[in-house]
Amino acid sequence: MQHKIDLSMLEDPAYDRKPHAKIRVIEGKYRVQGSRYLVSLPTHVTEKLALFTGLFYGDGSLINPKSAARHGTWRIDFAEGDKEVVEIFARLGKEIFDVHFKVQLRGTWHVAYIRNKVIYRFLSNICGHPMGKKTGKLQFPKLFRFPDASRKFLSGLFSTDGTIYLCYKAQPRIALTMQENNLVKDIHEELMRLGFNPNYTAEERKGRKLHRTSLYGRIQAKMFKEKIGFVGAKHKKLEMLLKQQITR
């Protein structure tokens, strides 16, 4: 992948007016005055970055920017029930940004988090993730709108918000169901571009309108495994369901 990233987009005049708030470059790395982190940023799109961002679009969140600026705490959270997925997310974060994400258990959720303005800005201004409440605001990021990157982005998103199960005639179904109309439609179109035959539906459930794109049958599931794939527990479940199909 040779798609260049415009790092000048890190700046936000609304919050970077004062000298201590500016993001500085020090020997090729990035930091804000008072922060202990010296952050590496990718200059080109990579499969690792696409997977990391897909995971974050599914189960990540960025604190409201006004609150972050007021308290000086640019918090980035990633919470998932699958411990392996959280560990993969934290490892990718270390490999991409050269900083450690803290990992802990909160009740039944595994969480990876960090407080860092540079990474916060990278995820919001460059990767397109909404700040604060994200429901209804997610769109397929332009940064990953080409095949190699889109496949990894989809892998991350399906690994967090996707489902895999057996349905009619014991055939596997892989689905992504969200309130995000624009994002789900973009993903549906991207799946078609990648050669899949997805099905799109929308329904009202408990006062919420949900949008779903899904892949049905063993052929589509096997193709998903080869072209996109899951990480974590869903990867193992897909492997198991496909093996069951072979032995039937």
Q: In which band, very low, low, confident or very high, does the pLDDT at 247 lie, cut at 50, 70 and 90?
A: very low
Q: Spell out where the chain has E strands.
A: 23-26, 29-32, 60-62, 75-80, 102-106, 109-115, 162-166, 172-178, 199-205, 208-216
Amino acid (one-letter) located at 240? M
Query: What confidence tens digit (pLDDT) does each residue in 178-190 have?
Result: 999 999 999 999 9
Distances (CA, A) of 21 to 66, 141, 236: 13, 27, 45
Q: How far apart are alpha carbons 48 and 44 in whole angstroms? A: 11
CA dihedral of 5, 144, 230, 112, whole degrees rounded to 10: 40
Range of the domain at 60: 7-133
Question: Is residue 1 one of the residues assigned to a domain?
Answer: no
Residue of higher predicted confidence among 53 and 208: 53
Q: In which band, very low, low, confident or very high, does the pLDDT at 82 lie, cut at 50, 70 and 90?
A: very high
Cα 51–Cα 187–Cα 3 angle in degrees, nearest 5? 50
Q: Structurally, how many domains does the chain consist of?
A: 2
Q: In which band, very low, low, confident or very high, does the pLDDT at 248 lie, cut at 50, 70 and 90?
A: very low
> Which residue among 113, 133, 153 closes a domain?
133
Mean per-residue pLDDT over the chain, rounded: 92
Nearest to 158 by CA among 205, 214, 210: 214
Tokens of 14: 């609304």
Predicted local distance difference test score (pLDDT) of residue 44: 96
Same domain, yes or no, for 121 and 152? Answer: no
CATH label of the domain that carries residue 208: 3.10.28.10
Tokens of 23: 């993001």
Same domain, yes or no, for 23 and 101? Answer: yes
| Section 59-71 average pLDDT | 89
Number of Cα atoms under 13 Å in the Cβ half of residue 79: 9
Predicted local distance difference test score (pLDDT) of residue 23: 87
Same domain, yes or no, for 115 and 191? Answer: no
Q: In which band, very low, low, confident or very high, does the pLDDT at 246 lie, cut at 50, 70 and 90?
A: low
Handedness of CA 162, 195, 152, 119 (dihedral sign): negative
**DSSP-assigned letter for residue 11:** -
Same domain, yes or no, for 129 and 16? Answer: yes
> Is residue 13 predicted with pLDDT exceeding 90?
no
Same domain, yes or no, for 19 and 126? Answer: yes
Question: Is residue 2 one of the residues assigned to a domain?
Answer: no
Percent of the chain with pLDDT over 90: 74
Q: How far apart are alpha carbons 162 and 175 in whole angstroms? A: 6
Query: What confidence tens digit (pLDDT) does each residue in 46-55 have?
Result: 999 999 999 9
> Which residue among 112, 133, 154 closes a domain?
133
Question: Is residue 139 one of the residues assigned to a domain?
Answer: no
Same domain, yes or no, for 153 and 75? Answer: no
Cα 13–Cα 29–Cα 127 angle in degrees, nearest 5? 55
| Section 231-239 average pLDDT | 96
Percent of the chain with pLDDT over 70: 97
Predicted local distance difference test score (pLDDT) of residue 54: 98
Predicted local distance difference test score (pLDDT) of residue 11: 84
> Is residue 208 predicted with pLDDT exceeding 80?
yes
Predicted local distance difference test score (pLDDT) of residue 69: 79
| Section 26-40 average pLDDT | 88
**Which of 18-27, 91-100, 162-171 has the highest average model confidence (pLDDT)?**
91-100
